[in-house]
């Protein structure tokens, strides 16, 4: 059944609509969201299995053939991202149950939550560039609402800045789509790829490509477009922040990955060199921020920036191995960043502050929480048995093979500084004499944290098991003709 | 015709950029309004301004104008309308809560070392 592609979008959408009618009963909202998140994971897993057995899935919405209607396409990459998104959604939902107070939660919180998942899953699945814009807006509008939800001073002022930046980048997206339509006369991604490979006027296409790089760089926090992020992400409650940190920037990274591997292949030498330089600058600025701050949240936020840089560098190499590494790294980073924000949120809840140095000695009273910090430091920096290793190893090997020694060394060095930055949280908050915090009940928070961390550990240890799926995803990215054929056939 | 439109759109973008770089929130929002006008006109222009009948099949004609950009613009208009409405209410709320509409003063956090 080809309709499998639409379930990851339809399930949260239906849930959101149903939830609107029962905002009065918080209990009903929680139950419905929980069931829907479970169903969503099942749908994602089913989609991965289907893509694995029967090849790429596509759905021509309304039976209009490919370039004329909107086509939803699920290749292995989209399917894996959708599955990861639904797992993160379930974890964030559980975390929200325990941390969002009932007054705030009854103001349509779970409705916005579901709409955010609609936007993210839609952006991962669509095969049409304007439809991508629409799903971006679905995602962004829900993120505005979630960011300002609660209405404290800091949330109001940071949402204002976040919104203005995103309104600007959305206008830029519309402009870029307008230019692309003028040059090629189509909006379907596969058809665009065909038209661009036949085009003789490649200079204007390169300009459009760079415009898209700016648009997606603004969404995905690439250097020099990441400056909105440290402020905006310091405002919302931890559950929302974990959702943002796990999903939003990664949609930008996915869009760069999709457009640079499928559509804009006309002048790879020029565009991908620019991407490589931006990526390395992103890594450098990310780790500088991560090392500089004593605020746990800011450390985690700059870790996102550094990881986005590593992924963008993997994309810029454009070999099958680097694609594989990027996908490995992307999936584990979504899970790990969400887990890191959960942990930071739990520590801040116990200590009453995000500032390191005002409290210490958590290890005595909260051993489990402390060891999760330690574990996440190892996983984030890429210590071998854990999840971050294989992705970075593949990216660095691909970089060495292409002779980009300097960039590879920067990525390696960045791992060290990422390790230092998260270990700083561990050492300053968990070691030492017990002071500056109170005994609070955090047991329920362990459920999502431990679930995500064990997922990340399993992902690292069971890399042999996930590797065939990821190799399949990388193969379609390295050779877009498969994608084009399966979308445009009939 | 396209050249004239492009110059006009360029002026809209210049105005929008100028307004978005100013201090007052309301000016910034007016800037975003101008920016989306520019983007929508650009979509229309880039779709081509060749003469033709409106895209209605009961109008008998040799040529029709391209219906795709019009549909895209209609979509983009309602989206930017929704976002602008949210932005205006947000500006109103932050004026009530923070007591200023100067974006320069909207900084600082509760929790500083």
In this prediction, residue B109 carries a pLDDT of 59
Q: How far is A353 from chain B (nearest CA, A)?
A: 8
Q: What is the pTM of this model?
A: 0.95
Q: Is B43 on the interface with A (CB under 8 A)?
A: yes
Task: Please give the structure tokens belonging to residue A488.
Answer: 């445009």
Using DSSP's 3-state secondary structure scheme, residue B50 falls into coil
Quote the percentage of chain B above a pLDDT of 70. Answer: 95
- What is the residue-averaged pLDDT of chain A? 93
Cross-strand bridge partners of residue A58: A73
Q: Name the closest residue on chain B to residue A178, using Cα atoms.
A: B43
Contact A168 B47 (CB under 8 A): no
In this prediction, residue A271 carries a pLDDT of 92
Q: How confident is the model at residue A303 (pLDDT cuts 50, 70, 90)?
A: very high
Count of other CB atoms within 10 angstroms of residue A436: 18
Task: List all residues 6 or more positions away from B69 whose beta carbon is below 8 Å from its beta carbon.
Answer: A178, A181, B43, B44, B46, B47
In this prediction, residue A490 carries a pLDDT of 63
In chain B, what are the domains?
1-52+65-102 (1.10.287.3510)
Contact A51, A125 (CB under 8 A): no
In this prediction, residue A437 carries a pLDDT of 86
Using a CB cutoff of 8 Å and minimum separation of 24, what contacts does A319-323 make?
A319/A398, A319/A401, A319/A402, A319/A478, A320/A474, A320/A475, A320/A477, A320/A478, A321/A394, A321/A397, A321/A398, A321/A401, A321/A474, A322/A394, A322/A395, A322/A398, A322/A399, A323/A257, A323/A261, A323/A473, A323/A474, A323/A477, A323/A478
Contact A357 B46 (CB under 8 A): no
**Average pLDDT of the segment spanning A323-343:** 95
Contact A306, A290 (CB under 8 A): yes
Nearest Cα to A80, choosing from A485, A481, A476, A487? A476
Helix extents (H) in A201-294: 202-220, 229-232, 238-258, 268-292
C-alpha dist (Å) from residue A265 to A121, A269, A270 = 25, 9, 10
Q: Is B49 on the interface with A (CB under 8 A)?
A: no
C-alpha dist (Å) from residue A326 to A51, A125, A262 = 20, 18, 16
In this prediction, residue B49 carries a pLDDT of 87
Which residues in chain B have their CB less than 8 angstroms from residue A137's CB? 79, 83
Q: Is A114 on the interface with B (CB under 8 A)?
A: no
* Alpha carbon distance, N-terminus to C-terminus of chain A: 17
Q: How confident is the model at residue B113 (pLDDT cuts 50, 70, 90)?
A: very low
Q: Give the integer Cα–Cα distance in Å for A11 and A71.
A: 18
Q: Name the closest residue on chain B to residue A68, using Cα atoms.
A: B68
Nearest Cα to A218, choosing from A267, A161, A145? A161
In this prediction, residue B64 carries a pLDDT of 92
Nearest Cα to A263, choosing from A205, A219, A321? A205
Using a CB cutoff of 8 Å and minimum separation of 24, what contacts does B74-81 make?
B75/A130, B75/A134, B76/A133, B76/A174, B76/B36, B76/B39, B76/B40, B76/B43, B77/B36, B77/B40, B79/A134, B79/A137, B79/A170, B80/A167, B80/A170, B80/A171, B80/B32, B80/B36, B80/B40
* Alpha carbon distance, N-terminus to C-terminus of chain B: 59
Nearest Cα to A318, choosing from A249, A401, A214, A240? A401
Q: Is A207 on the interface with B (CB under 8 A)?
A: no
Q: Give the integer Cα–Cα distance in Å for A90 and A418.
A: 27
How many residues are present in chain A?
Answer: 490
Contact B28 A161 (CB under 8 A): no
Q: Give the integer Cα–Cα distance in Å for A364 and A368.
A: 10
Q: Is B82 on the interface with A (CB under 8 A)?
A: yes
Q: Give the integer Cα–Cα distance in Å for A353 and A233.
A: 16
User: A381's torsion region: left (phi>0), alpha (psi -120 to 50) or beta?
Assistant: alpha
C-alpha dist (Å) from residue A244 to A33, A103, A169, A172, A259 = 18, 22, 18, 22, 22
Count of other CB atoms within 10 angstroms of residue A446: 17
Q: Give the integer Cα–Cα distance in Å for A193 and A127.
A: 11
Task: Please give the structure tokens belonging to residue A198.
Answer: 């036949």
Which residues in chain A have their CB less than 8 angstroms from residue B46's CB? 178-179, 181-182
Q: Give the integer Cα–Cα distance in Å for A455 and A135.
A: 28
Q: Is A181 on the interface with B (CB under 8 A)?
A: yes
Q: Which range has highest mean pLDDT (A20-24, A209-213, B95-99)?
A: A209-213
Task: Please give the structure tokens belonging to residue A225.
Answer: 């477009």
Task: List all residues 6 or more positions away from A195 whose beta carbon is below 8 Å from its beta carbon.
Answer: A184, A185, A186
Task: Please give the structure tokens belonging to residue A54.
Answer: 């029967």
Quote the percentage of chain A above a pLDDT of 70. Answer: 100
**Residue labelled with tokens 């899935």:** A57
Nearest 5 degrees, angle CA A25-CA A27-CA A33? 105
**pLDDT (tens digit, 9 = 90+) per residue, B42-91?**
999 998 888 889 999 998 988 999 999 999 999 999 999 999 999 999 99
Q: How confident is the model at residue A1 (pLDDT cuts 50, 70, 90)?
A: low
Contact A307, A338 (CB under 8 A): no
Dihedral of CA atoms B11, B16, B19, B20 in degrees, nearest 10, equals: -150
In this prediction, residue B111 carries a pLDDT of 45
Asked if pLDDT for residue B108 goes beyond 80, the answer is: no
Q: Check if the interface score ipTM surpasses 0.85.
A: yes
Contact A221, A189 (CB under 8 A): no
Task: Please give the structure tokens belonging to residue A161.
Answer: 């800045």
Nearest 5 degrees, angle CA A162-CA A166-CA A172? 155
Q: How confident is the model at residue A398 (pLDDT cuts 50, 70, 90)?
A: very high
Q: How far is A106 from chain B (nearest CA, A)?
A: 20
Which residues in chain B have their CB less than 8 angstroms from residue A353's CB? 111
Nearest CB to B111 within list A161, A178, A355: A355
In this prediction, residue A438 carries a pLDDT of 85
**Average pLDDT of the segment spanning A347-371:** 91
């Amino acid at each position: 059944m080809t309709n499998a592609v639409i379930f990851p979008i339809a399930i949260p959408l239906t849930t959101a609509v149903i939830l609107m009618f029962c905002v009065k009963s918080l209990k009903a909202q929680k139950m419905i969201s929980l069931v829907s998140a479970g169903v969503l994971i099942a749908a994602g897993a089913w989609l991965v299995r289907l893509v694995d057995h029967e090849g790429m899935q596509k759905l021509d919405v309304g039976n209009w053939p490919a370039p004329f209607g909107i086509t939803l396409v699920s290749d292995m990459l989209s399917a894996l991202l959708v599955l990861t998104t639904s797992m993160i959604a379930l974890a964030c939902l559980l975390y929200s149950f325990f941390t969002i107070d009932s007054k705030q939660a009854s103001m349509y919180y779970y409705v916005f939550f579901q709409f955010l998942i609609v936007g993210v899953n839609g952006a991962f699945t669509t095969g049409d560039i304007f439809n991508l814009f629409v799903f971006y807006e679905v995602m962004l509008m829900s993120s505005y609402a979630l960011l300002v939800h609660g209405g404290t001073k800091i949330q109001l002022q940071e949402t204002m800045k976040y919104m203005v930046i995103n309104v600007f980048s959305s206008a830029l997206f519309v402009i870029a789509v307008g230019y692309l339509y003028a040059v090629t006369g189509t909006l379907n991604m596969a058809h665009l790829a065909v038209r661009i490979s036949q085009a003789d006027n490649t200079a204007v296409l390169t300009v459009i490509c760079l415009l898209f790089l700016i648009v997606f760089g603004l969404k995905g926090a690439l250097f020099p477009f990441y400056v909105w992020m440290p402020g905006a992400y310091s405002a919302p409650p931890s559950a929302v922040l974990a959702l943002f940190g796990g999903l939003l920037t990664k949609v930008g990274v996915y869009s760069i990955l999709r457009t640079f591997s499928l559509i804009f292949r006309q002048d790879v030498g020029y565009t991908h060199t620019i991407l490589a330089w931006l990526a390395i600058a992103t890594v450098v600025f990310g780790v500088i921020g991560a090392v500089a701050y004593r605020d746990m949240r800011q450390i985690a936020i700059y870790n996102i920036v550094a990881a986005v840089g590593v992924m963008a560098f993997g994309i810029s190499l454009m070999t099958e191995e680097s694609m594989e590494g990027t996908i490995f790294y992307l999936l584990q980073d979504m899970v790990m960043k969400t887990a890191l924000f959960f942990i930071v949120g739990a520590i801040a809840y116990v200590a009453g502050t995000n500032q390191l140095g005002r409290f210490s000695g958590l290890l005595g009273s909260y051993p489990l929480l402390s060891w999760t910090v330690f574990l996440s430091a190892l996983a984030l920096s890429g210590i071998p048995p854990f999840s971050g290793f294989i992705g970075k190893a593949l990216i660095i090997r691909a970089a060495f093979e292409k002779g980009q020694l300097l960039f590879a060394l920067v990525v390696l060095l960045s791992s060290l500084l990422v390790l230092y930055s998260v270990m700083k949280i561990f050492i300053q908050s968990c070691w030492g004499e017990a002071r500056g915090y109170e005994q609070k009940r955090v047991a329920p928070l362990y459920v999502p944290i431990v679930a995500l961390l064990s997922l990340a550990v399993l992902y690292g240890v069971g890399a042999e098991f996930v590797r065939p799926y990821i190799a399949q995803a990388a193969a379609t990215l390295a050779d877009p003709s498969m994608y084009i054929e399966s979308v445009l056939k009939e | 015709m396209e050249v004239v439109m492009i110059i006009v759109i360029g002026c809209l973008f210049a105005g929008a950029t100028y307004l978005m770089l100013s201090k007052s929130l309301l000016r910034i929002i007016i800037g975003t309004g101008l920016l989306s006008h520019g983007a929508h006109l650009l979509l229309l222009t880039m779709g081509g301004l060749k003469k033709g009948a409106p895209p209605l099949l009961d109008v008998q004609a040799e040529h029709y104008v391209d219906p795709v950009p019009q549909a895209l613009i209609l979509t983009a208009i309602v989206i930017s309308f929704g976002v602008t409405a949210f932005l205006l209410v947000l500006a109103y709320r932050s004026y009530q809560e923070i007591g200023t509409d100067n974006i320069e003063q909207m900084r600082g956090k509760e929790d500083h070392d």
